[in-house]
Structures are given as C-alpha cells and as structure tokens.
A and B are shown apart, each in its own frame.
Chain A
Amino acid sequence: MSLGSENKRDWRPCCDFESLQRRAWMLAQIRQYFHDREVLEVETPLLGSRVGTDPHLRFMTVQEDDRILYLQTSPEFAMKRLLAAGSGSIYQICKAFRGGEVGRLHNPEFTLLEWYRVGFDLDQLMDDVASLLRCLLQDQVGGEVRLRYGELFEEAIGVSWDAPIPELNQRARALDLAEAGEICGRNRSLWLDFLFSHLIQPGLPDRELVFVHEYPAPLAALASLKPGQPQTAERFEVFLHGVELGNGYRELTEPTEQRARFEAEQKARILAGLPCPELDESFLAALEEGMPQCSGVAIGLDRVLMLMMGHDSIERVLPFPMRVCC
C-alpha cells in the first residue's frame, strides 16, 4: 500500500468525541478555578530564541530566515520574566514540545498547565494542586498522602538515597535490575531516577493523590534548597495511579545559583555531545532584577484527561497523536 492511501485510511481522529467534550470541560473548569482565585491567565511565545538547557530534554528547532528558533520545552522562563516584572500570580495553558518522547504517557507535543503563586510556600502550593485535581478528577481521587522522598526511597530500596554508589548497585542487583550499574555508572541523579522509576513509582498507592516531596538536592532542577537543609530540594511531584501528573518547586530566585546550575547543565550537554544553546540572559537578568518569592507547578493535562476517562494511554484522548496520525 502506498503511503498516500494509508493516510487516506487514517484521516479520522484517534480519540472519541467524549474525549473532546471532556477536554473542553476540563479547560473550562481550570479557567473558572483560577478566575475564582484571581490568578491571571497569560500567554507566552511557544517559539523563542532561547530554550532550557536541561540535558534530559531534547528541544526541537525551527529554521526561520537565517536564524534558529526553539520550540519551548516549557513556558517557565518567559513566565518568570512576567513574575519579575510584577504580574502577580499567573497561569498558562499551552503546548510544550519535547523531542523523542513517545510512549503510552508521552507525545512529543503535549498540553501543559503551568502556574505560579506569588507568596506561596510549597505546602500551600500542594494544597492548591490537590484542590484543582480533585475538582477535575472528582471521584477518581480517593484520599491524599504526602510522602518524603528520602523515607520512600529507604523503604523501597533498603538504603538511603545518599548511600555510596556501590551500595545502590548492590541493592539494584538484589532487586533483579543488574543492568542498572552499566546504565547509571557514577552518576547519582541517574541512579536515583532509575531506582525511583523502576522500583518506587510502580508501588505508589493507586487511588490516592500522592505528593512526593523533599527531593534530594541532586534532583533540584529549578527548585530552591530547603533553608538549613542543603541536601533537600523544595520540590514535589504528584502522582495518581502511579502516573506522574506534575512537578512543583519553591522557585529558585537567586540569580548566581541559577547561573551556576545552567552552566553545570551546559557542561553536561557538552560532555554528552548534545547541542548546547546559549543561556537565556533575559531570564537571568529578570532574576537579577528580583523575582518575588513564589512556588510554581506544571501539570500534564493530557494525562489528567486520560485518568479522568479511565484510559491507560494518552493516545486515547489525543485526536491526532504523533505516533499514529502525523
């Protein structure tokens, strides 16, 4: 069969009309939720001349005239420039683009809800996330638990997350994951990601909204470190049915520390032979000017919709997922 005739056969959407209707309902609920709380809806560019340097995210580029633009992997930097300019609490519903991420829970183009609450600490933001998710997922959410990363890790793996790497390796072997050693080497964040996603995440409580918080500092990303506890990052992730729905931080506002983390990411990119875009100096300048203390979170809305409808793949709720329809 020629490619053309295959396309002819496959022009219809992958999801049913109920998915379209429930998505529209979800978006309306979110807008109402933030309207009631006086959080301002904003839009920032999807296409920019700078992009995040996180070595684990593959950005996509667009050639425009004689320059390269980047499809944003998240609206974070632009939204933080608004915060520094005095916008107050803001939210955005937008597409984000991450190359190579294809699977049951991933599509290279997906819908993100990202918001920042000025003056909120992480506990207040977790309360906020819980009340919005309850409003969207209703009886899908049984209870709610908050678990410290360190305790969860020790319970599942049998050693502390900061144990020497040979000990992590030994535990991985004992738990039937012998390949971990070769994959993770001497890289502790890799070890933590590997062990968490293979041994901890699948065992999280099913019907409860699970907030994992107090992340190890090596996994801080753009979170601030806990005052007086430099080993702990003020970061959380929220899960339901073992599916990661969102990632929140008490935002790092310190420009020198932010620049140092960016430079470390750039170094990691060069070491791994990945393209290394220039730093977003406008974002760093905004931090230098002063960003208010705030907490922010990003939620994957396609996954929320998937759980709302009781499906096990986001492809069931996307009209044209890339793997099937593009």
Chain B
Amino acid sequence: MATYSTNEFKNGLKVMLDGDPCTILENEFVKPGKGQAFNRVKFRNLKTGRVIERTFKSGESIEAADVLEVEMQYLYNDGEFWYFMDPATYEQVGADAKAVGDAAKWLKEQAVCTVTLWNGAPIAVTPPNFVELEVVETDPGVRGDTSGGGGKPAKLETGAVVRVPLFVQTGEVIRVDTRSGEYVSRVGK
C-alpha cells in the first residue's frame, strides 16, 4: 500500500481520508514556538466535492489514493449510465448520475471531458471549460439589441438553461463557460 508522509504533501496530491479519495487543496506547515509541528491540510473529497480541513502531526503518513484523471470522449447516455471512451486505448467506462453530477447538463456527444477514475471506476466528470451548444428554446428577442443588458433564459440542446442576451435566437449556437454557467458569445455556423 503506497503512503505519503506529510513532508511529501503538495497541492493536487491524491490521498485516502476516512475511506474516500481526496485531493489536497492546501497544506500549511504550522509550528508553534518550541513545540510539535503540524500540517494543517485542506482536502476536497473527490466523491462528494466537499472541502474538509484536517490536521496531522508532521511526519505522519496517510494512504495514497489510486486516482487518475483521464481525458475521455463522451459517447452516449443509456438512461442510467453516461459512457466515456479513452481515445488512446478505446477503453470505455460508464459513469452513474452521482459521478456525472452537474456535468450532465453540458454533455454533448464527442465532448472531451476529464474523468476522475478511482481504482479504475469513474467517480467524477469535469466537462470542458467551454462548450458550444444550440439554443432550442428562447423567447423571441428584440432585433437590434446588442448590448446584452438584461437578457433572458435560453434552453440548450443538452437541457441546460443559461441567461443569454436578448438578440440570441432559437436555432443559434452559443459558447458557454461551464465553470460559471455563463454565456460567452454566439458562434458563427
């Protein structure tokens, strides 16, 4: 079993905490005056996304997590699982709704996502930072309005709803930042 000692801790390191795989977000070395040194560590639980703070005695070791982040192509959804393929090996994995989470609303066939695999099984899916999706439903806007002030909701082909400027019409393709869920621009066909 691989382990990491506190002096190997660094941001991005994947470790096991309370039975769940986590990534280290922050590692602060704390040493009071003449006393014992501690590492105060901030983790993100890779299954739940929750952030946890925990202290270790410096020099202690914790178990490494067998976690890989792989760029994979989204294939299709069969109603229960979302299937992804590693373009290098053609290997496929099926991720359940818990692993896909909020990413589901941005997924269009062939999008390249980052799939987090724990012991080979997908536990999280990060969509591309930017996606280009067609507007399937929005109120007819006022032509000539290019300011983008105000805006209106628009439903996209994947089911996501984003706020768009009034000039955006049904049938147009727009670029969206998936990290903020915000409209970026129209995309010429």
Could you say which of A7-15, A26-34, A133-141, A189-197 contacts chain B?
A: A189-197
Q: Does the CB pair B32–A100 fall under 8 Å?
A: no
Q: Does the CB pair B55–A179 fall under 8 Å?
A: yes
Q: Does the CB pair B35–A189 fall under 8 Å?
A: yes
With A and B bound together, what is the CA distance between A198 and B56 in angstroms? Answer: 12
Report if B36 contacts A (CB, 8 A): yes
Q: Does the CB pair B34–A100 fall under 8 Å?
A: no
A197 touches which of B27, B32, B54, B56 (Cβ 8 Å): B32
A100 touches which of B40, B56, B58 (Cβ 8 Å): B58
Q: Does the CB pair B7–A100 fall under 8 Å?
A: yes
Q: Does the CB pair A183–B55 fall under 8 Å?
A: yes
B32 touches which of A103, A177, A180, A201 (Cβ 8 Å): A201
How far in angstroms is the closest Cβ of chain A from B20? 16
Q: Does the CB pair B29–A56 fall under 8 Å?
A: no
Main secondary structure of the interface of A (DSSP, over half): mixed
Q: Does the CB pair B30–A197 fall under 8 Å?
A: yes
A103 touches which of B28, B34, B59 (Cβ 8 Å): B28
Report if A221 contacts B (CB, 8 A): yes
Q: Does the CB pair B29–A54 fall under 8 Å?
A: no
**Which residues in B have their C-beta under 8 angstroms from that of A219?**
33-35
A193 touches which of B27, B32, B54, B56 (Cβ 8 Å): B32
Q: Does the CB pair A56–B36 fall under 8 Å?
A: yes
**Which residues in A have their C-beta under 8 angstroms from that of B27?**
103
**Which residues in B have their C-beta under 8 angstroms from that of A183?**
38, 55-57
Per-residue 0/1 for B47-60: is the Cβ within 8 Å of any A Cβ (1 yes, 0 no)? 00000001111110
Count, chain B residues at interface, CB 8 A: 20
Q: Does the CB pair B35–A100 fall under 8 Å?
A: no
Report if B37 contacts A (CB, 8 A): yes
**Which residues in B have their C-beta under 8 angstroms from that of A237?**
33
Q: Does the CB pair A101–B35 fall under 8 Å?
A: no
With A and B bound together, what is the CA distance between A237 and B34 in angstroms? Answer: 10
Q: With A100-B59, A177-B55, A183-B56 as given contacts, are A194 and B38 in contact (CB-CB < 8 Å)? A: yes
**Which residues in A have their C-beta under 8 angstroms from that of B179?**
none
Report if B31 contacts A (CB, 8 A): yes
**Docked complex: A103-142 residues within 8 A CB-CB of B:** 103-106
Look across to chain A and name the residue whose beta carbon is closest to the beta carbon of B27.
Answer: A103
B31 touches which of A101, A189, A221 (Cβ 8 Å): A101
With A and B bound together, what is the CA distance between A201 and B54 in angstroms? Answer: 17
Report if A244 contacts B (CB, 8 A): yes
Q: Does the CB pair B33–A244 fall under 8 Å?
A: yes
Report if A44 contacts B (CB, 8 A): no
How far in angstroms is the closest Cβ of chain A from B134? 42
**Which residues in B have their C-beta under 8 angstroms from that of A106?**
29, 31
How far in angstroms is the closest Cβ of chain A from B112? 25
**Which residues in A have their C-beta under 8 angstroms from that of B59?**
100
The CB with the most chain B CB atoms within 10 A, among A54, A193, A244, is that of A193
**Which residues in B have their C-beta under 8 angstroms from that of A102?**
7, 29
With A and B bound together, what is the CA distance between A103 and B9 in angstroms? Answer: 11
Q: With A100-B58, A183-B57, A194-B55 as given contacts, are A244 and B32 in contact (CB-CB < 8 Å)? A: yes
Report if A258 contacts B (CB, 8 A): no
Q: With A102-B7, A103-B29, A105-B29 as given contacts, are A221 and B55 in contact (CB-CB < 8 Å)? A: no
**Which residues in A have their C-beta under 8 angstroms from that of B55?**
177, 179-180, 183, 194, 198
**Which residues in B have their C-beta under 8 angstroms from that of A19?**
none
Report if A160 contacts B (CB, 8 A): no
Report if A293 contacts B (CB, 8 A): no
**Docked complex: B55-91 residues within 8 A CB-CB of A:** 55-59
Q: With A100-B59, A198-B55 as given contacts, are A54 and B31 in contact (CB-CB < 8 Å)? A: no
**Which residues in B have their C-beta under 8 angstroms from that of A192?**
35
Report if A247 contacts B (CB, 8 A): yes
With A and B bound together, what is the CA distance between A321 and B55 in angstroms? Answer: 25
Look across to chain B and name the residue whose beta carbon is closest to the beta carbon of A54.
Answer: B34
**Which residues in B have their C-beta under 8 angstroms from that of A104?**
28-29
With A and B bound together, what is the CA distance between A239 and B141 in angstroms? Answer: 60
The CB with the most chain A CB atoms within 10 A, among B31, B40, B56, is that of B31
**Which residues in B have their C-beta under 8 angstroms from that of A198?**
30, 38, 40, 55
Q: Does the CB pair A190–B34 fall under 8 Å?
A: no
Between A and B, 28 residue pairs with Cβ closer than 8 Å are A56-B31, A56-B37, A100-B37, A100-B58, A100-B59, A101-B29, A101-B31, A102-B7, A102-B29, A105-B29, A179-B54, A179-B55, A180-B55, A183-B55, A183-B56, A189-B35, A190-B36, A193-B35, A193-B36, A193-B38, A194-B36, A197-B31, A197-B35, A198-B40, A198-B55, A237-B33, A244-B32, A247-B34
B interface vs A, CB < 8 Å? 7, 27-38, 40, 54-59
